[in-house]
Amino acid sequence: MIDKLEFFIALANEKHFGRAAEECGISQPTLSAAIRQLEDQLGVMLVQRGSRFQGLTPEGQRVLEWARRIVGDTRTMREEMRAARRGLSGHLRLASIPTALAMLARITTPFQERHPDVTFSIVSRNSLQVLSMLENLEIDAGVTYLENEPLGRVTTVPLYAERYHLITAAGSPLSDRETVTWREVGDLRLCLLTADMQNRRIINRHLAEAGSSAHPTLESGSMIVLFSHVRTGRWASIMPRNVAESFGFPAEIRMIPIIEPAAHHSVGLVATHREPFTPLVSALLHEARILAESESL
């Protein structure tokens, strides 16, 4: 039953029998047979079928909620028993908004020093994708904004506040200023994160509140791409201070606080709320709280 529920979750995530089978490491006929057996065991149709996957039935949606809960609890039990036998080990899957990627080393490094048998994988995603991956059991925890958009039922650990700066090359417009306003920044040749990123929605909102708007001539999902274009002197960008500092901040780049308003937005670790947490997630939350306490000192 647990295996079939995992196959069902994979199918709901991938929305394609072939991709779901590949994700589970089985053949497509094996996956299809397992889903039909699950339907027979439960006595309901779970999947709307045609020539291809057409979605879940209402009963399938309800079973998906149970499947995530049951599979999540089973994984927690397995991890807890493994930790009891061998100490903390395993693999942690994390997803982070692009502006927080640079600070993750401040969690993963001390964590790995304490628990050397734990490995990590980290992917960059927008805030909505982070929450979706959490819900679908594709990651163990994420780092995202905590205040601006609904998070759902998650456990949060606030880590730091983003504070926004104009990042521009020396000698470019406004580069000699001590502060700039959001209205002034809107008139510059900007490179910004793509519109699907919450950071971009935050920037758009502050510009609109100041009576301006963003018309970037370059967009990217990568902070490295943005910073490399700022270094050419042809673009400026709006970045959180901590992100700009993570690039080493060469002398030819200016970092100027943006005021009116001097905005800040909370970023933190999020994990699916469950009791008990897996040993790995529990240890990760503990490490995040240590970092949060050090930031508040």
Q: Burial of 248 by CB count in 10 Å (0-12 exposed, 13-18 middle, 19+ buried)?
A: exposed
Question: CATH 3.40.190.290 region(s) of the chain?
Answer: 162-264
Q: What's the maximum distance between 2 C-alpha atoms anywhere in the chain?
A: 71
Of the candidates 242, 266, 265, 297, the one whose C-alpha atom is nearest the C-alpha of residue 106 is: 242
The per-residue pLDDT for 113 is 92
Q: Is the pLDDT of residue 226 over 90?
A: yes
Residue 244: partners with Cβ closer than 8 Å, 6 or more residues away: 165, 167, 227, 253, 255
Residue 249: what pLDDT? 65
**How much is the average pLDDT of 67-81?**
82
**CATH 3.40.190.10 placement within the chain:** 87-160+266-296
| Fold (CATH) for 1-74 | Arc Repressor Mutant, subunit A (1.10.10)
Q: Which CATH superfamily is domain 87-160+266-296 in?
A: Periplasmic binding protein-like II (3.40.190.10)
Coil, helix or strand at residue 34? helix
Query: Which tops the pLDDT comparison, 200 or 80?
Result: 200
- Using a pLDDT cut of 90, give the percent of the chain over it: 53
Residue ranges, comma separated, of all CATH 1.10.10.10 domains in the chain are 1-74
Tell me the pLDDT tens digit for each residue of 259-283.
988 889 999 999 988 777 888 999 9
pLDDT at 52: 76
pLDDT of 297 higher than 60: no
Helix, strand or coil, per DSSP, at residue 271: strand
Amino acid 218 reads L
| Average pLDDT over every residue of 62-79 | 84
CA atoms within 13 A on the CB side of 173: 11
Percent of the chain having pLDDT more than 70? 97
What length is written for the chain? Answer: 297
- Residue 210 is classified by DSSP as T
Centroid of chain to Cα 94 = 7
pLDDT tens-digit readout, 201-220: 999 999 999 999 888 999 99
- Phi first, then psi, for residue 120 (nearest 5°) are -130, 150
Mean pLDDT in residue range 39-50: 87
**Of the candidates 27, 8, 9, which has an alpha carbon nearest to the alpha carbon of residue 18?**
27
Would you say 75 and 68 are in contact if contact means Cβ atoms under 8 Å apart? no
CATH of domain 162-264: 3.40.190.290
Task: Answer yes or no: are the C-beta atoms of 272 and 237 closer than 8 Å.
Answer: no
Asked if 218 contacts 229 with a C-beta cutoff of 8 angstroms, the reply is yes
Q: Name the least confident of 26-40, 69-83, 145-159.
A: 69-83
Q: Are 69 and 92 in contact (CB under 8 A)?
A: no
Q: Please give the backbone phi and psi of residue 178, each rounded to the nearest 5 degrees, phi first.
A: -85, -35
Q: Are strands 218-220 and 191-193 parallel, antiparallel or unpaired?
A: parallel
